[in-house]
Amino acid sequence: MRLRPGAPPVEWRVSDDLVPYEEAVAFMEARAAAIASGEARECVWLLEHPPIYTGGSSAKEQDLLEARFPVYRTGRGGQFTYHGPKQRVAYVMLDLSRRQRDVRAFVCALESWIIASLADFGVTGERRAGRVGVWVERPEKAKGRDGEMAEDKIAAIGVRLRQWVSFHGIALNVAPDLTHFSGIAPCGVRDAHLGVTSLADLGVAADMPAVDAALRRNFEAIFGPAEDS
């Protein structure tokens, strides 16, 4: 998923204040169009949102259990998810026509990015067939009805492509209020032995700058150089 040698580095943006969802979507729409037309370089934007629920293209109404926060319908892939303070959202605007026109390979690269970043904090993140995102095993929790290992989701992935330019991206739970997820069936998952977690919930005392540094380092290893905006 790396650009060819000599290509300009990806612009790396970090917002310290909470960013309204509508503002972020408007920026991504405009930036993706500019990238596709050759008028702007690729961009990764790290931010946090106020508490919201977003529903992707596969979202089912029955999975919105209680609209405790504003609900936004969005064109990204996936189902319902939560965004809020102390969750690091990374919006990824990359031109796959200059990298690799393979959606599955791109999602796999995003998963690898998250997994490598979690490893920097001693957390083993894993993929699961049929379940998008990154999961961690929780052997201390109750098993499933058939003896399945309890697992929690620590990061969600939802992307959209337009003219082979990506937008939307990933959401990594650093230390959000996990009770906020109770208003939805996250990504349509309802099994009692499958839940959500965060670095803080796993006992990892990582602040946002440390998480951002890990994300930057591992992004560059997979996708290529980035440069501060």
CB burial of 157-180 (b: ≥16 within 10 Å; e: otherwise) equals bbbbbeebbbbbbbbbbbbbebeb
Q: Which of 123, 187, 214, 215 is catalytic?
A: 187
Annotated binding-site residues for substrate read 76-83, 156-158, 169-171
Q: Would residue 108 show up in a list of annotated catalytic residues for this protein?
A: no
173 vs 84: CA distance, rounded Å:
9
Place of tokens 């529903």: 55
Ordered alpha helix ranges (H), the chain:
21-36, 103-119, 208-223
Catalytic residues: 187
